[in-house]
Structures are given as C-alpha cells and as structure tokens.
Amino acid sequence: MTDPVKLAKEIAKVLDEKKAKDIVAIETEEVTIVTDLFVIATGTSSTHTKSLADEVEYEIKQRLGIMPDHIEGRATGWILLDYGTVLVHIFDAESREYYNLERLWTDASRLDLSDVLTD
C-alpha cells in the first residue's frame, strides 16, 4: 500500500503540472475515520476541471500503479476521486466557494506541499 502522504503529494504535483489553482492538502486522519488526507484543487472551467480529474487518474496509475476506488461527479462542478486513504476534490471556482471544505475541516492540519508545488 502506498504511503498516503506520498500519494497526496504525487496527486498535488500532477494537479500543479496541469495548472490547477489553490491546491491544498488537509490531514484528516486525526479528525475522521473516513480517510487520511484530502487534496483539494480548483479548475478554471468545467473542461479544465474534467481534464484535471482525468489527468490525476491517468498519471497516478502510470506513476504509482494505483487506480481510484471510486469516482463521482464527472458531470458536475465537483469531481471526487477516492483513493481510499486520499480523497481528491476537484472543483470549479463557484462550487469550491460554496462548499468551502477548508472551512469545514478547520480542526485538521494542512500538509506542506511546498516541495511539490511550483507556485
């Protein structure tokens, strides 16, 4: 099984390479039993959002040999890729502002992504 931190950082790297905006990783392990980490990012359009999800799915399979257990929301402003220990949330700007997951998970720590993000 892949280390959740390694997986989250690799996902963040893929999102960054494809120009996702406002990429964050939230360590949820201490505040929920659902998953260890959330990776959250924003696409600039519905087409960009869908391509980000497709690219994460493709690149993580190529780089780490892992496929998501489940994918939801391909036709909406919020796409979820479930990697078990890491949940990837890719939003359009309006949906990200509306659902504001960062506010909902304020008790959780942020994972430092400065070593994988270019901005």
> pLDDT in tens for each of the 119 residues of the chain?
689 999 999 999 999 999 999 999 999 887 777 889 999 999 999 999 999 999 999 999 999 999 999 999 987 899 999 999 999 999 999 999 999 988 888 888 999 999 999 96
Can you give the pLDDT at residue 119? 65
By C-alpha distance, which of 49, 1, 9 is closest to 27?
9
User: 4-107, what's its fold?
Assistant: Beta Polymerase; domain 2 (3.30.460)
Rounded Cα distance between 87 and 68, Å, is: 9
C-alpha 71/C-alpha 45 separation (Å) is 19
Sequential DSSP letters for 63-99:
HH----SEEE-TTSSEEEEE-SSEEEEEEEHHHHHHH
Q: Which amino acid is at 94?
A: E
Domain ranges of the chain: 4-107
Nearest partner of 112 among 37, 18, 2, 20, judged by Cα: 37
